[in-house]
Structure 1
Amino acid sequence: MLSIQSTELLTGARISGDFWDLDELINAIHKITGDENKYYDYQGSRLRILNVCFNLRQATKGERQLEFVSNGLTKSILTQHELISPNKNAYFSTEILWPELIFMAIALNDFIQLHKELIDSSDWNIDVAAIRKFQAAVADCLEQELNEEEYLVFLRMVHTKNPLTFRYATQYIDILNLEYIQLSWEERKAHLAAFALRIMLEDDEYVSLKSQLMEAAISTKKALHDIEIKTNYPEKIMW
């Protein structure tokens, strides 16, 4: 079963599951985010989502964390069926910074809506269902870290702002990530809700950044999402 839990220092959340849990999510995201040319105005968001998928795929190859979880096979069951089998399954996991994960969960709403409008409007789409399960797990984990009022405000924003990431300057997520990393555990606990809302509110800092990026895009004739900003992520993140 796919699991999402906050890391010990609240730096991010740990996504874990067996190979098939993560494989299902990765494949569903690739299908729903579609072709880069079809959703060009969402390309920045698409690339960030796929970058998280890359980390998940690396996890399934054993290149991230590995843990063993009880699979429910008790000694009595094994005896009853005359089986010799391990009673634990391998779970693969990787950590994602909280601002990055929140943005991913929000941005997936846009791709689900685009997929329903242009590809498949069925409420029974299995890939959409897999992504909704992932989003629900993120929301459930986030709810545990916020107070009730903060969580309700966040949900209200998610449901009323549509689309959420159209031509979004995703470089802003790097700024939020780096700012968040510098906080203490107490500060992360106190300000996590504010970071979640800043992703959606497009405050003065975001507007200023996007304006600079647009100028750079025009002068270099590059796409907005291709403009790089100076980032200095620590070599080792304390989770």
Structure 2
Amino acid sequence: MLTMTNTPNHTGVKISGDYFDLDELNQAFYHVIGDENKYYDYAGARTRILGISYEIRHAAQGDRNVESVFNGLHDHMKKQHSFIAPDKNIYFSTEVLWPEVLYAAIALKDFVRLHREDAKFPDWDVHLHVIARFQSLVLDCLHGQVPEEEYQQILKAFQQAVPGEEYAIQYIDFLNIKYIDMPKKQREKSLGVIALKIAMQDKDYVAFRNQVLAAATPNKVPIHEIRLQTEYPEEIEW
């Protein structure tokens, strides 16, 4: 079963599951975002989701975290059914920064909407249900980290989030790096605010996007191809 938990230093979330859980999520991502030419106005959002997909795929291959998890098989059950079997399953996991996974939950709303418009029977599309669970897990994990009143505001903002065509994805890099640099206590206090900023595309985002557009316009470069002049740390204290 796919699970999501807050990391010890509140830096991000740990996405965990067995091989099939993670592979199912990856397949759902690819299914709804389409190929690189399908939703060109969402090319930046597609790139960010593929970044999470990359981490999940490598986790499923055993390149990230590997842990054993109790599977519910007690000694009494073994005796009852007369067989020998391990009482733990192997789970794989990877960490994703909070701003990154919050943005993914929002961006996937757009891809799901676009996919539903193209599909003949979207209500029966298993991939859409996998995506919905992923989004719900993100918000459920966030629920345990912010005050209830703030969480209700975030839910409303996520529900009413405007479409994110040509989103300035560099803003997520900006928030990621800013969040990494915060002390743990400040992360705890800032997480709800960051979630609201991502969902509402507030004045800070608008000002940031205008700067990116100013950099992109002279050479007619697509907005998602402008690079933020900063680097992520080599090691992150999750």
Secondary structure class of the residue paired with 1:234:
coil
Query: Shift of residue 232 of structure 1?
Result: 1.8
Larger deviation, residues 225-234 vs 43-52:
225-234
Deviations 1:157-212 (CA, angstroms, capped at 9, x unpaired) = 1111232x221000000000011111112111111111111113333332232222
Residue 194 (structure 1) aligns with: 193
Is the counterpart of residue 129 in structure 1 residue 129 in structure 2?
yes
Deviation string for 1:124-175 (max 9, x for gaps)? 2100001111111111110010111111111111111232x22100000000
The answer to whether the aligner puts 1:170 opposite 2:162 as a matched pair is no
Unaligned runs of 5+ in 2: none
Q: 1:72 corresponds to which residue?
A: 72
Contact 1:59 1:92 in 2 (8 A): yes
Name the aligned partner's letter for residue 150 of structure 1: E
Which amino acid in structure 2 is aligned with residue 190 of structure 1? K
Name the counterpart of 2:233: 234
Q: TM-score, normalised by structure 1?
A: 0.96
Partner residue, 2:52: 52
Which sits farther off after the overlay, 184-193 or 78-87? 78-87
On the 8 A contact 1:115/1:121 being kept in 2, the answer is no
| Distance in 2 separating the partners of 1:157 and 1:10 | 22
Tell me which amino acid in the other structure corresponds to 1:184: P
Unmatched runs of 5 consecutive residues or more in structure 1: none
1:86-105 aligned at under 5 Å gives the runs 86-105=86-105
Q: How does 1:131-146 map to 2 (within 5 A)?
A: 131-146=131-146
- Give the aligned partner of residue 211 of structure 2: 212
Q: How far apart, in 1, do the equivalents of 2:199 and 2:139 lie?
A: 15
Amino acid at match of 2:38: K
Aligned-residue identity in percent? 45
Q: CA deviation at 1:83?
A: 1.8
Q: 1:70, CA displacement in angstroms? A: 0.8
Moved more, 110-119 or 217-226: 217-226
Contact 1:19 1:92 in 2 (8 A): yes
**Secondary structure of the structure 1 residue equivalent to 2:95:** strand
- Aligned residue pairs, count: 238
Report the Cα distance in structure 1 between the residues aligned to 2:69 and 2:120, rounded to whole angstroms.
36
Task: Give the TM-score of the pair, scaled to structure 2.
Answer: 0.96
One-letter amino acid of the counterpart of residue 204, structure 1: K
Q: CA RMSD in A?
A: 1.2
8 Å Cα contact 2:161/2:200 also seen in 1:
no
- Post-superposition CA distance 1:38-63 (Å, at most 9, x none): 21111100110011000000001111
- Evaluate the alpha carbon distance shift between residue 97 and residue 120 of structure 1 in structure 2; reply closer, same or farther with a 3 A threshold: farther
Taking the aligned partners of 1:161 and 1:134, their CA distance within structure 2 comes to 17
SS of residue matched to 2:124: coil
CA distance in 2, matches of 1:201, 1:122: 27
The offset of 1:219, in angstroms, is: 2.0
How far is 1:79 from its partner? 2.2
